[in-house]
């Protein structure tokens, strides 16, 4: 092959293998993180969002306080004669509702990462594939602990006195965190299916509203019509509230706790594989 002026183009010299290796470095390749370390790293990333956007603390501080005060003073006098009397029954339920309502932000944050292309970058990393999703859920557990502390402290101010003592309260919060972690897989799956964070929030509210308000959070189901009692009885949130209320007051039945753990295992067993399949099939 010749150029227009009849001369042959210069042939590039063969690369010097030794020089290429020296440029790339001859050190050992760093070992990739294990599942636990990778999940912890992504969990820390979730918490760093709060550092850069402190407004995210609104849903774990102001929101639970608003819910507790509004419903306590709205229903307390009518249902129990006083706020202090009502809060003994009501506070464990509003604790559950406050935590479950903010689990949706796990899906909203994930969908935001998808919109910005961050998730595609994460999927290209040599890490345990589910670590980004598990880490996001673990990071949100810290937010749930903060929200639980806010509700319980406010309850003590309003006159709430847990009969189960500190151990009962800690056991109740622990059970609630387990269920919240499992429930978060629903919003993670929705985040991978829906197009916008607003859509994720809308669908989340459609699921959470009937689950929380159609339960035994606010009133004893015995006062409800028969057909509504049947609905409330099969509601997993009702089972959670019953177990949390029993642990807090030192009256929990082992069957109630096991039922909640069974719901949590079922949610992860069903939604976990579906979410990971969707996550792996993203174009």
Structure confidence by residue, pLDDT tens digits, 59-81: 788 888 998 898 898 888 888 88
Among 115, 94, 259, which residue's Cα sits nearest to residue 175? 259
- With H, G, I as helix, E, B as strand and everything else as coil, classify residue 2: coil
Question: Higher confidence at residue 53 or residue 188?
Answer: 188
Cα–Cα distances in angstroms (integers) from residue 39 to residues 45, 139, 197, 249, in the given order: 10, 9, 23, 35
Q: What is the pTM of this model?
A: 0.83
Joined together, the tokens standing for residue 211 give 């689950």
Structure confidence by residue, pLDDT tens digits, 82-128: 888 899 999 999 999 999 998 998 888 888 888 888 887 887 788 88
> What letter would DSSP give residue 127?
S
Joined together, the tokens standing for residue 263 give 């719901």
Q: Cβ–Cβ contacts within 10 Å for residue 86, how many?
A: 25
What percentage of the chain has pLDDT greater than the value 90? 48
Return the pLDDT at 223: 86
Q: Inform me whether the pLDDT recorded for 29 exceeds 70.
A: no
| Beta carbons of 200 and 111 less than 8 angstroms apart | yes
Q: How far apart are CA 239 and CA 129, in angstroms?
A: 33
Q: How far apart are the first and last CA of the chain?
A: 42
Joined together, the tokens standing for residue 73 give 């003073």
Q: Inform me whether the pLDDT recorded for 182 exceeds 80.
A: yes
Structure confidence by residue, pLDDT tens digits, 238-250: 999 999 999 999 9
The mean pLDDT of 118-140, rounded to a whole number, is 84
Looking at the chain, which runs of residues are DSSP E strands?
none
Residue 81 sits at φ, ψ, to 5 deg, of: 95, -25
Return the pLDDT at 282: 65
Return the pLDDT at 121: 83
Return the pLDDT at 156: 93
Structure confidence by residue, pLDDT tens digits, 184-230: 999 999 999 998 999 999 999 999 999 999 999 998 898 889 999 99
Helices (H) and strands (E) in the chain, counts: 12, 0
């Amino acid at each position: 092959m010749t150029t227009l002026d009849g001369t042959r183009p210069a042939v590039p010299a063969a690369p010097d293998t030794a020089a290429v290796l020296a440029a790339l470095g001859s050190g050992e390749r760093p070992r990739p993180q294990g599942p636990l370390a990778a999940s912890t790293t992504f969990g820390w990333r979730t918490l760093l969002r709060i550092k850069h956007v402190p407004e995210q603390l609104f849903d774990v501080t102001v929101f639970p306080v608003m819910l507790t005060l509004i419903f306590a003073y709205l229903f307390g006098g009518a249902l129990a004669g006083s706020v202090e009397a009502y809060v003994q029954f009501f506070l464990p339920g509003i604790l559950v509702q406050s935590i479950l309502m903010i689990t949706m932000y796990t899906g909203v944050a994930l969908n935001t990462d998808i919109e910005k292309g961050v998730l595609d970058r994460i999927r290209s990393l040599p890490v345990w594939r589910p670590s980004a999703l598990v880490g996001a859920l673990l990071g949100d557990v810290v937010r749930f602990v903060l929200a639980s502390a806010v509700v319980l402290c406010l309850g003590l101010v309003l006159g709430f006195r847990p009969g189960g003592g500190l151990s009962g309260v800690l056991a109740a919060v622990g059970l609630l965190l387990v269920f919240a972690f499992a429930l978060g897989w629903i919003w993670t799956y929705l985040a991978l299916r829906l197009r916008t964070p607003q859509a994720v929030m809308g669908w989340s509210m459609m699921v959470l509203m009937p689950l929380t308000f159609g339960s035994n959070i606010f009133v004893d189901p015995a006062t409800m019509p028969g057909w509504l009692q049947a609905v409330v009885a099969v509601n997993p949130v009702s089972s959670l509230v019953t177990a949390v209320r029993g642990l807090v007051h030192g009256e929990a039945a082992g069957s109630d706790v096991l039922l909640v753990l069974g719901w949590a295992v079922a949610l992860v067993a069903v939604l976990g594989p579906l979410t990971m399949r969707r996550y792996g099939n993203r174009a």
